[in-house]
Amino acid sequence: MDFAGTTPYEDYVRADVLTHLQRPLSDDPGEMVFLVTTQVMELWFTVIVHEWTTAATALRRDDLPTALAALERSRRELAALNASWEPLAHLTPARFNAYRSALGEGSGFQSAMYRRMEFLLGDKSASMLVPHRGTPRVHAELEKALHEPSLWDEALAFLSRERVRAGREPLPTEVLERDRTRPYEAHPAVEAAWTEVYTAEARERATGPGPLLRLGEELTEVAEMVWRWRNDHLSATRRAMGAKQGTGGSAGVAWLEKRARRTVFPELWTARSHV
């Protein structure tokens, strides 16, 4: 067990780097858990972006097993991400105010990795690149993600190809060739296509779930976990600071309420009303 240099564990995990990245800016002992929890969330954002990118790439190749495996992993990772709120979920205003001023203009909406998550979900916005103009590498990565198909775009392209293989009409051109830099908007033809998928399940339950149903359900699980994340964020923020303006000039709770109302992969939810 006597190593000449660092241990193999350290070489792989870089624990010494990770555990020395914390630089609290106030004297309040409660700031440390806020800082570490935020850093842990950034790590989860990173791995979830990796999984969703893997799934999107696999769907582009019609490799459904790889896509489903990545989505399933991301669902468990989202559960862990959501659990990260627990250390911060019960902050009182006085406890948060003890170190809030140390955050200065810093705000969670400035997270580049979280923005990449949102872009992969189809929630695109060119204006969200503006805070990152001072960091060329990060800005370039976000600009690339802005122009690339989202995970939902790739799922709909796969759905369309499966329809053609089954002898049905593809999805409309305005869905498949939409402006990728714009937020995704629900389309009635997409709702109808998913309705067909779920109606077929109701008719043929004995045959087991088909590929599109399995994809739809994995994406629905992801959408639900994202919804839980947004609402946990809203709840923790409302409890810690009420309706005050957020850090960095954000609208705080008002902005989070607006985010929580946005449905991820909307037609997967509305299609259920027609089955």
First to last CA, the chain: 62
The token duo for 255 is 């902005």
The token duo for 192 is 């109808």
- CB burial class (10 A; 0-12, 13-18, 19+) of residue 216? buried
CA dihedral over 60, 151, 219, 185, signed as positive or negative: negative
Residue type, 81: L
Close Cβ partners of 172 (under 8 Å, ≥ 6 residues apart): 187, 189
Cα–Cα distance, 114 to 256 (Å, whole number): 14
The token duo for 104 is 């200065």
The token duo for 173 is 């051109």
Cα–Cα distance, 174 to 257 (Å, whole number): 30
From the list 149, 168, 146, the residue with the least C-alpha distance to 212 is 168
Residue given tokens 């990060």 in the structure block: 138
Is 100 annotated as a binding-site member?
A: yes
3-class DSSP state of 198: helix
Cα–Cα distance, 218 to 197 (Å, whole number): 14
Cα–Cα distance, 206 to 139 (Å, whole number): 50
Close Cβ partners of 72 (under 8 Å, ≥ 6 residues apart): 218
Is 20 annotated as a binding-site member?
A: no
Positions at the binding site = 100, 233, 247
* Binding positions for substrate: 100, 247
Binding site as annotated, residues for heme: 233
